[in-house]
Amino acid sequence: MGHLLDAVVALSADLDPRAVLQHIVDAATGLIGARYGALGVMGESGDFVDLITVGMDGPDVCAGMGLPQRHGLLGGLVADRRPLRVADILADPRSVGFPDGHPVMTTLLGVPLMVRGTVYGNLYLADRRDGTPFTEDDAALLTAVASAASISIENARLYQSLKHAAEHFQRRMLPTLPDLGPLRAEAHYQPASELPRLGGDWYDAFVLPDGATCVAIGDVTGHDVEAAPLMAQIRNMLRALAYDQGGPPGLIVSKLDRALTMFAEPPTATLILGRVEQGGGSGGGDSPWTFRWSNAGHPPPLLVGADGGTRYLAPVQHGIPVGVDPSVPRFSHEFPLTPGDTLLLFTDGLVERRGQDIDTGLRALAEDASLLATAPLKDLCGELVAGRGQVFDDDVAVLALRIPGPREG
């Protein structure tokens, strides 16, 4: 009973579908002392789509055997939906023999994997190590494992389905970047690794009536079903204010701050709103492009030169998140851009890790971006996200904008 409970706990601890399946076969063969074990997984069509084994030496053997078929002893196990014990496999009239490369087995014990009338596959063992036949107690124990295993498989599939649905919903709420020529732009979104995968990160870029390109990136506080629609509302409000009202970025962010007071409980968000335009800045410089922006409590933009030089645009006057206090002043900043520069806007999920100082993440991002200074923007965004690792505590949004080179201008 103690071994059975340990097996059930192991099955419940992992939501990765294939890891759950391997736990099931390992637990069953260990509990009953079988030499061989296998779990056939059925797809929605009713055919077997996967086979997880124990005691079969090497993946080539399993590949050569192929997947179980809906006939013979194993087919009967699925059709009858009840435990099966066979003392001599080859002598049983339902047996169709073994495929080439399959170990020769004598005794068989199998049970279906079912939840609420749905068959997910079958779990079967062959040949006890002590040479004795399988008993009714063995069948009862394997049935108990199968019951826990079936629930685990269903939960794992529901978990994966929910992850995919949440990610799809989030991506549908993010915009498709328009043609911003002569500027080039690329965006990348990566959901958090664990549920809930709905988050508040977003990006946006579009051409303003005066010809400048407006860029924005933000992160609404919270990581649940509430954050995603709030993100969409704030993004659309910011887009409308920037497009219809115009003015310096700091003024537009201030207007957004005041507009958020219409909510009974104003949402809070960090964001950067900027505009990239041709021509020198207010300082009278001769740079062909200028970036003007306002920062509301967000990680600073990273400027990557064509020569690999990097610089975070982090002026001393740094604003607080929107939705906190609309009376706090907002600031607009500007910086000259040169041909080949890449402007990188990102959310904190790209540089924050549990137990790590954010400055460490910022330094690592700058170093990685430097090596990708001239890479195509799609590759740059993809590599920067992939280089942060495969596990994300938070969702990540990245928006990259590249100034055309002399021959492109």
Q: Does residue 320 form part of some domain?
A: yes
Q: Is the pLDDT of residue 301 over 60?
A: yes
The string of pLDDT tens digits covering residues 58-73 is 554 455 555 665 556 7
Q: How far apart are CA 236 and CA 390, in angstroms?
A: 31
34-43, 175-184, 341-350: segment of lowest average pLDDT: 34-43
Do 218 and 92 belong together in one domain? no
Q: What is the average pLDDT across 95-120?
A: 78
Confidence of residue 51 (pLDDT cuts 50, 70, 90): confident
The domain total for the chain is: 2
Confidence of residue 253 (pLDDT cuts 50, 70, 90): very high
Confidence of residue 7 (pLDDT cuts 50, 70, 90): low
Q: Is the pLDDT of residue 171 over 70?
A: no
What average pLDDT is seen over the chain?
Answer: 82
Percentage of the chain surpassing pLDDT 70?
Answer: 76
Q: For position 1, which CATH number holds? A: 3.30.450.40
Q: Does residue 6 form part of some domain?
A: yes
- Please tell me the predicted confidence (pLDDT) of residue 122: 86
The string of pLDDT tens digits covering residues 341-382 is 999 999 998 998 777 888 999 999 999 999 999 999 999 999
Residue that terminates a domain, selected from 146, 166, 186: 166
The string of pLDDT tens digits covering residues 239-252 is 999 988 778 999 99
Do 150 and 230 belong together in one domain? no
Looking up tokens 């199998």, which residue turns up? 110
Q: Does residue 140 form part of some domain?
A: yes
Q: What is the average pLDDT across 177-200?
A: 80
- Who wins on pLDDT, 194 or 369? 369
Structure-block tokens of residue 54: 């124990």
- Please tell me the predicted confidence (pLDDT) of residue 57: 62
- Who wins on pLDDT, 201 or 295? 295
Q: How far apart are CA 88 and CA 192, in angstroms?
A: 51
Q: Does residue 408 form part of some domain?
A: no
Range of the domain at 201: 175-403
Q: What is the average pLDDT across 219-247?
A: 81
Q: What is the average pLDDT across 268-278?
A: 95
Structure-block tokens of residue 222: 């919270």
- Please tell me the predicted confidence (pLDDT) of residue 341: 97
Q: Does residue 270 form part of some domain?
A: yes
Do 123 and 229 belong together in one domain? no
Report which secondary-structure segment, H or E, holds 322: none
Confidence of residue 395 (pLDDT cuts 50, 70, 90): confident
- Who wins on pLDDT, 170 or 113? 113
Residue that terminates a domain, selected from 147, 166, 185: 166
Q: What is the average pLDDT across 168-192?
A: 83
Do 136 and 84 belong together in one domain? yes
Kindly calculate the radius of gyration of the chain based on its CA atoms and give it in whole angstroms: 29
Do 110 and 231 belong together in one domain? no
Q: For position 363, which CATH number holds? A: 3.60.40.10
The string of pLDDT tens digits covering residues 145-157 is 887 777 777 776 6
39-43, 262-266, 280-284, 302-306: segment of lowest average pLDDT: 280-284
Q: Does residue 409 form part of some domain?
A: no
- Please tell me the predicted confidence (pLDDT) of residue 5: 56
Q: What is the average pLDDT across 108-131?
A: 86
Q: Does residue 205 form part of some domain?
A: yes
Do 157 and 181 belong together in one domain? no
Q: What is the average pLDDT across 290-296?
A: 97
- Who wins on pLDDT, 198 or 94? 94
Do 123 and 265 belong together in one domain? no
Confidence of residue 116 (pLDDT cuts 50, 70, 90): confident
Q: Does residue 111 form part of some domain?
A: yes
- Please tell me the predicted confidence (pLDDT) of residue 281: 60
Q: What is the average pLDDT across 198-227?
A: 84
Do 199 and 105 belong together in one domain? no
* CB atoms near residue 132 (< 10 Å): 11
Do 112 and 182 belong together in one domain? no
- Please tell me the predicted confidence (pLDDT) of residue 409: 47
Looking up tokens 């020769």, which residue turns up? 104
Do 79 and 221 belong together in one domain? no
Do 196 and 162 belong together in one domain? no
Q: Kindly write down the DSSP assignment for every residue of 36-99, as one continuous string.
A: EEEEEEE-TTSSEEEEEEES--SHHHHHHH----SSHHHHHHHHHTS-EEES-TTTSTT-----
Q: How far apart are CA 137 and CA 273, in angstroms?
A: 68
Most confident of 15-24, 114-123, 322-331, 350-359: 322-331
- Please tell me the predicted confidence (pLDDT) of residue 368: 95
Residue that terminates a domain, selected from 166, 184, 218: 166
The string of pLDDT tens digits covering residues 339-348 is 999 999 999 9
Do 307 and 331 belong together in one domain? yes
